A and B are shown apart, each in its own frame.
Chain A
Amino acid sequence: MSRLVPPANPIEPEVRAPMNQPFGELGRFAEPSLYILVSLSDGPKHGYAIMTDVEEISGSPMGPGTLYGALARLERRGLIEALEPEDRRRPYRLTGLGATTLQAQLQGLDSFVRTGLARLGEKAS
């Protein structure tokens, strides 16, 4: 589950620790958490909308138990926050910390992917 979490962040040392902390300790919820943050990056969504959006993004469904396990962890760590409920649905949105963390994670992934592709290219040539 943690295969999408990059090994390091190409960001300044002073902000590296807090960026790594939320994901490094999430265990099997690390990857679902990343999907959730990406899903919320274009605006607030409630649980069902996140679930369907993540299914579109990742191509595989996220179970309700996993979804809420990850949501609880993200909320507790201040990466997302709940908005006022609409009926029984409660939308969630990215916090400032969540957006910064997501950006750092995606930058790390991007660097990781480019390095991997470059090495594959070197090997092929």
Chain B
Amino acid sequence: MSRLIRLYPPAWRDQYGDEFADLIAERPPSLVERLDIVRGALDAWLHPQVAQRTARQAPGTSHRGRLVGAATIVGGGLWIAAGVAMFMAPMNWDLGYKESQVGVFMVAAAMAVTAIAAIAGSRSLPVNSRYAGIAAAAMLLGAALTAMPWPMLIMGFFGYILAAAAYGAILALSPGRMLGGLLAIGALIVTSMNTEDERALLTIPIGLAWMAVGAVAVWRVPARPEPLAGY
């Protein structure tokens, strides 16, 4: 049956493909209805109603989309600031390691902010929104554990990282969200972070990736709905 859906333009499939596939899976079309689908596909090519490769805006998402994007950018910035703070943290020679508590706190804050933004943002994904939501929830759990003492801290940290990598991969599979791939790569890079040396700066890639994802989310939201168009 997916062969029939493939008759439709890519932009149309991006917007309606999932629900359309669900509809014809729930009610297998008769021969007449198959012809109707073919006719509908022809109409979609001749009279496109969906802008090319633009994600659907859910109702009321204009303001929320910007908020989610802005929060994601703030979270990315926190990741970067955390890395710089840990790198710049003074060495405590009595204890033998850096006083990086502020940086670690900022990491936990960055994790929490990006996780909450990801949970909110996952709902507007055109595909795999449920899996993205699960990954984002796992990120939030990881962020919460990171705020706890050792060994919960390290478990939470890596839990967040794995979930963020999964979230990035899911984003990358969604139309128009290729930057999710950068997030997945940034998440893998930050696994090599060390608060005690220059590897603290390995938070920068994931921070930049989050900021890019957030910027796209803000940019994607149109200021005004499309005007009425012809037949």
Residues of A at the B interface (CB closer than 8 Å) are: 21-22, 25-27, 46-48, 51, 61, 63-69, 71-73, 75-78, 81-85, 87-90, 93
Contact = CB atoms under 8 A, between A and B. Distances in A.
A66 to B, nearest CB: 6
Interface stretch (B19-27, B110-118, B149-157, B192-200): B19-27
B20 A63 contact: no
Given A25-B231, A81-B59, A48 B38 contact: no
B102 interface: no
Contacts of A88: 18-19, 21-22
Contacts of B22: 47-48, 87-89
Contact of A64 (B33, B129, B130): B33
B29 A82 contact: no
A81 B123 CA distance: 16
Nearest to A83: B59
Interface residues of B, number: 39
B39 to A, nearest CB: 5
Given A64-B29, A65-B37, A65-B43, A72 B231 contact: no
B90 to A, nearest CB: 48
B19 A77 contact: no
Interface string B1-38: 00000000000100110111111101101001101111
A65 B41 contact: yes
Contacts of A89: 19, 22
B225 A47 contact: no
A27 to B, nearest CB: 5
B91 interface: no
A78 B18 CA distance: 21
20 contacts: A22-B228, A47-B20, A48-B26, A63-B35, A64-B23, A64-B29, A64-B36, A68-B20, A69-B43, A72-B15, A72-B44, A75-B49, A76-B50, A76-B226, A76-B228, A83-B59, A85-B129, A88-B19, A89-B19, A90-B18
Contacts of B96: none
B95 interface: no
A40 B56 CA distance: 20
B31 to A, nearest CB: 11
Q: Which of A21, A85, A90, A93 is packed against the most chain B CB atoms within 10 Å?
A: A85
Given A25-B230, A76-B226, A89-B22, A65 B49 contact: no
